[in-house]
Amino acid sequence: MEHSLIVNLNDQTVFTSDQHWLYPLFELEDYIKQSEIGVNDLFLKDKIAGKAAACLIVFLGIKRCHIELLSERAIPVFRANGIEFTYDNLVDHIQCRTEDLITDKMSIADAYLFLRKRAGRVQGLSVKMENVTVRIEEKLVIDRLNLDMGRGEQLIIHGANGAGKTTFLRAVLGFLPLTEGAIKIGDYLVGSELWKQNRSIIGYVHQENIKNNFPISAGEVVQIGLGKSRISKNEAEYQVEVAMRRTSSFHLFNQPYHTLSGGEKQRVSLARCLCQNARVFLMDEPTAFLDQRGKEDLLLLLHELSRNEAPTMVLVSHELQWIEQLNWPRRELKGGKLC
């Protein structure tokens, strides 16, 4: 059987795949990460490549390739990114819906994230809300709200103060009883017994405006994310360290949590979510206590999450300039509904 994808290093075959569509390139990505092999000297041979495959090849850092059947739509992508390519046969386009969905406005990184979600290679879970209504002390806050997010998608919710943004997040978490409707996270119905057993799939970064003197260190807060995981002490310490280093908070490991600034607590909360391997991230005004450098670091972290774990992420924020930089889909919460 002929391989659909072959990758050589110095004339020696180091990787092959017999999968179809874009899956061989995603398998190659896994191989590159695991082997830590340098990509500059790799030579890729692919059966078919269109615009989508070209974007993935560029994203992986491959510099040279040969394609048996090449779509003309792939050529501008290769040329714009300095890829050396040859081919046997050239066609106008490939009969594949994905070929039409990669627009010229997409950056290589945007195309990669889009294709990764389309291939189902994401950690995130779907979030579905059907006719969700929430009343607090007889006041209607959320009114028959509907939302349907796919796995690994992102969403920003903005709105005026008092519009119910935090209430929305607390409803998804199952912290508030629903007057009407239902919420599902993946296959879990929020509020059910099965949900209660698996609620760690949601990570929550709330506004750090509550003062307390509870005697717990920042490192211990992050370790809470491990829950009842049956792992060794050394492995637990390693996972906590990795999570805190990713959020630039490891230097706070031994500091009492209550002595941290608001921004430092935000970093520690994000580390806890990483440690618990959350598949849905809910973030309530995560930049509220961050300085400009902290906001820039958070932006990089969210992009890293999208590229690596690809959880589903819902973020509440009123800071328009920061929202623009994030470049996620946006919905306004107004009158208890998402506009």
pLDDT tens, residue by residue, 140-190: 999 999 999 998 899 999 988 888 999 999 999 999 999 999 999 999 999
DSSP letter, residue 236: H
Average pLDDT in the 257-283 region?
88
What was the pLDDT predicted at 80? 96
Average pLDDT, integer, range 16-24: 91
State mean pLDDT over 116-137. 90
| pLDDT (mean) for 124-147 | 93
Among 32-41, 65-74, 83-92, 273-282, where is mean pLDDT lowest? 32-41
Q: How far is CA 336 from CA 126, 148, 316, 319, 333, in A?
A: 22, 16, 15, 20, 6
Residue with tokens 């992986």: 60
pLDDT band at 211 (very low <50, low <70, confident <90, very high): low
- pLDDT, mean of residues 261-280: 87
Helix 262-275 × helix 292-307 angle, to 10°: 10
Say if residues 183 and 314 touch (Cβ distance below 8 Å): no
Q: In terms of Cα–Cα distance, which of 336, 334, 331, 335 is closest to 148? A: 331
Backbone angles phi, psi at 265, to 5 degrees: -65, -35
Neighbours of 79 (CB within 10 A): 11
Task: Answer whether 334's CB lies under 8 Å from 163's CB.
Answer: yes
Decide: residue 108, CB within 10 A, 0-12 exposed, 13-18 middle, 19+ buried: middle
Domains (ranges, CATH) in the chain?
A: 5-118 (3.40.140.30), 127-338 (3.40.50.300)
Q: What is the pLDDT of residue 320?
A: 78
Mean pLDDT of the chain: 89
Looking at residues 56-73, what average pLDDT do you find?
95
Per-residue pLDDT averaged across 63-78, rounded? Answer: 96
Confidence (pLDDT) at 208: 61
pLDDT at residue 6 in the model: 95
Q: Percent of the chain having pLDDT more than 90?
A: 50
Contact, 147 vs 323, CB < 8 A?
Answer: no
Decide which of 169 and 319 is more confident. 169
As given in the structure block, the two tokens for residue 43 are 């030579």
CA 269 to chain centre: 17
What does the block give as tokens for 169? 């997040």
DSSP class of residue 301 equals H
pLDDT at 1: 46
Contact criterion met (CB below 8 Å) for 67 and 85: yes
pLDDT at residue 212, rounded to an integer: 62
The predicted structure's pLDDT at residue 210: 52
161-196 in b/e burial notation, b at 16+ Cβ within 10 A?
Answer: eebbbebbbbbbbbebebeebebbbbebebeeeebe
- Which of 296, 339, 337 lies closest to 133 in space, CA to CA? 337
What is the spatial distance between Cα 130 and Cα 142, in angstroms, rounded to a whole number? 12
* 25-52 average pLDDT score: 91
Q: How far apart are CA 302 and CA 306, in angstroms?
A: 6
pLDDT of 257 above 70: yes
pLDDT for the residue 129: 96
